[in-house]
Structure 1
């Protein structure tokens, strides 16, 4: 969809109205939802702004949105708590009708008055009460349907949407398995041929239609245990790559010289189309789920959450510390009310120590300290995966995660 806008020496009101219309157009193309709660909060904030204490310490007076920016990053420029998405949108309510639709080139201005702050796309007024705008007659044509800023850089999450997978205990045991390779190769890589056998639950049936079915290649379902209760919350299947089914498995009858008939198994033919690591005989196959087209709107959970970090994704080592932009599994899921986009505060354990100033040498438990922020991006019933957005020191298994204050 191409939008054409012509700017001349008209009044500021006409220019702003045109800008508002320009921003509103791609909403249907993006189709990102705005919840009633977000809209209500935005309306309230638009009336009164936010307290100056809610601003980031070095919030700029103005900012021009650039290509490569994210909504989370812009929120962090102006707000001390970037997940308070409706507040940022509310401060722009007159100029930005949808919080997901902010575009490169747009300029944002911070206004402070009476202990409150507002943010808008309107420039500060001059001494005569009118904003100074310099424009020249020109025609612009651009496609905006795909140019709205993402919440986060897609590269930070997209790989984990296809990799992170929590299954039940027996799922991998009953899943199809790779049984042989061409020319008896030990390892398989992208482009190699593999042969596989299915099971009663997951048969590798003959291919129907023009599009061959896809499978994830996985190995070693590792138990995810609650660090407090020891309960097994699920099994994390280690992702290796992807394969497509070229020909389903079957059988054939052969006869020996005495006329005795024997039935032989003919395994299914698979083509490896992606490989994160080498694939080998014995690795398992799970049906590829449909792609997720998700938007992430950071927001705090409505209820109190008190969770723990279960594992650092992909590390395989329990004492590894996770850094910014790494993914961790946590012991809360959909049954606990967690949903995609929920933001949690990461707390570091204050630890225990002896009071050396006390003659009785009393034991003390230091307070847990705010260590950073995590956003949930994928949920299962009892486990969720979160991306570490910012952190002061490394996150380790057992660290607490709570609803932001």
Structure 2
């Protein structure tokens, strides 16, 4: 995509924050301007922006060290830039409202753009151009033409490496999904443990064999051990989390063969042939195959939930991991049925301990206060639970910690 700039007169309303406004537009893994321009702005976000158009936001809402001038660099992310300017970076619609008349599509921000912060009159405004001080409130540009290539340069919300693997690897399923899924029955050459490059054999259920169909070659994800996710507050089973092992490609489907043994006709099943094309852990007979999911392009727009949330962290993703840190994944006990959506930001509260006070000679039970220790963003939602990314923490979040509106 190419962009052409010519002589113009611009009103120095605020730039919708190229930061947060654009915020989180270019959903993970999507970098082109062409794709960015299609991301939706919800009616609620637009309404907030219109309310604050040209008014800016109180200076008190700025981050303490918000720079007066900042040049966007390759490798920047929209979340990091928004956090640089705002105490509450999920409040991007208000920042967008600062320049709604000038920025028709806030979902674009590119390396090389310079952000200027204006704090006159106790209100904060962000622009891509310095104010000129002209009486009529306009900026006059000298005649010039600038030709830029913007293809593939738009910033992403967060580093794609943080979430991309979990969009298809981490799953929450119901109890029967893995039990009834096709299974590996043997490895080639009597191999017990399978790794990338190995050949193996698999079978489906009697009523659902692994057969070849027209279209692309079938691809599978391989899983093991569906672990129940239990709500820390109610004890309800929210779903089952399966451990991702690797990926496989089907080379031949199941079939049958008829042979004569001791004068009798015997029909035997010939399992499907699969090749292991990726491995996180070694695989073995009994591991289950689920179809490779269709990759969906998602637009993550971090924002506070409109509904009141009172949730809990259920578990930290990973084998035998008890505590979480920034950029780690957790499962939470809120899902589609609770109104959760991708992009919603929640505050993490350390669940205060219950102690026995013996300092006054009596034994009195006390509940220590809950302390705010970080933020997380929901990025994949299932019916009763969701996966979320820890955006930042001052302590070590763990299962049982409380989640509330930010």
Q: Calculate the TM-score normalised by the size of structure 2.
A: 0.89
CA separation of 1:347 and 1:403: change in aligned 2, threshold 3 A: same
CA separation of 1:335 and 1:200: change in aligned 2, threshold 3 A: farther
Among 295, 307, 314, which residue is 2:311 paired with?
Answer: 307
RMSD of aligned Cα (Å): 2.5
2:116 paired with 1:105: no
2:246 paired with 1:241: yes
Shift of 1:364: 2.4
- CA distance, structure 1, for counterparts of residue 398 and residue 351 of structure 2: 10
- CA distance, structure 2, for counterparts of residue 127 and residue 90 of structure 1: 23
- CA distance, structure 1, for counterparts of residue 385 and residue 360 of structure 2: 43
Question: For 1:160-239, what aligned pairs fall within 5 Å after superposition?
Answer: 160-200=166-206, 202-209=208-215, 211-239=216-244
Tell me the SS of whatever aligns to 1:47.
coil
Question: For 1:291-370, what aligned pairs fall within 5 Å after superposition?
Answer: 291-317=295-321, 320-355=322-357, 358-370=360-372
The answer to whether the Cα contact below 8 Å between 2:186 and 2:192 also exists between their aligned partners in 1 is no
Question: For 1:53-202, what aligned pairs fall within 5 Å after superposition?
Answer: 53-126=60-133, 139-142=146-149, 144-200=150-206, 202=208
- CA distance, structure 2, for counterparts of residue 280 and residue 135 of structure 1: 69
Tell me the SS of whatever aligns to 1:157.
helix
Aligned partner of 1:278 in structure 2 is 282
The answer to whether the Cα contact below 8 Å between 1:123 and 1:131 also exists between their aligned partners in 2 is no
Instruction: Give the number of aligned pairs.
Output: 389
Structure 1 stretch displaced more, 112-121 or 147-156? 112-121
CA separation of 1:340 and 1:174: change in aligned 2, threshold 3 A: same
- CA distance, structure 2, for counterparts of residue 14 and residue 402 of structure 1: 40
- CA distance, structure 1, for counterparts of residue 388 and residue 214 of structure 2: 37
Shift of 1:186: 1.8
The answer to whether the Cα contact below 8 Å between 1:95 and 1:120 also exists between their aligned partners in 2 is no
The answer to whether the Cα contact below 8 Å between 2:335 and 2:385 also exists between their aligned partners in 1 is yes
Aligned partner of 1:35 in structure 2 is 42
Shift of 1:185: 1.1
Tell me the SS of whatever aligns to 2:165.
helix
Shift of 1:99: 2.8
Aligned partner of 1:51 in structure 2 is 58
Shift of 1:308: 0.5
Shift of 1:272: 1.2
The answer to whether the Cα contact below 8 Å between 1:29 and 1:145 also exists between their aligned partners in 2 is no
Structure 1 stretch displaced more, 361-370 or 297-306? 361-370
Tell me the SS of whatever aligns to 1:98.
coil
CA separation of 1:157 and 1:366: change in aligned 2, threshold 3 A: same
CA separation of 1:201 and 1:191: change in aligned 2, threshold 3 A: same
- CA distance, structure 1, for counterparts of residue 4 and residue 104 of structure 2: 19
- CA distance, structure 1, for counterparts of residue 204 and residue 346 of structure 2: 41
The answer to whether the Cα contact below 8 Å between 1:195 and 1:268 also exists between their aligned partners in 2 is yes
Higher relative contact order (CA 8 A, sep 6+): 2
- CA distance, structure 2, for counterparts of residue 170 and residue 240 of structure 1: 19
2:392 paired with 1:390: yes
Stretches of structure 1 lacking an aligned partner (at least 5 in a row) = 17-22
- CA distance, structure 1, for counterparts of residue 379 and residue 256 of structure 2: 44
Find runs of 4+ consecutive structure 1 residues off by over 6 angstroms: 127-136
Q: Calculate the TM-score normalised by the size of structure 1.
A: 0.89
Shift of 1:304: 0.5
The answer to whether the Cα contact below 8 Å between 2:12 and 2:131 also exists between their aligned partners in 1 is no
Shift of 1:261: 0.8
Stretches of structure 2 lacking an aligned partner (at least 5 in a row) = 14-21, 23-31
- CA distance, structure 2, for counterparts of residue 334 and residue 128 of structure 1: 53
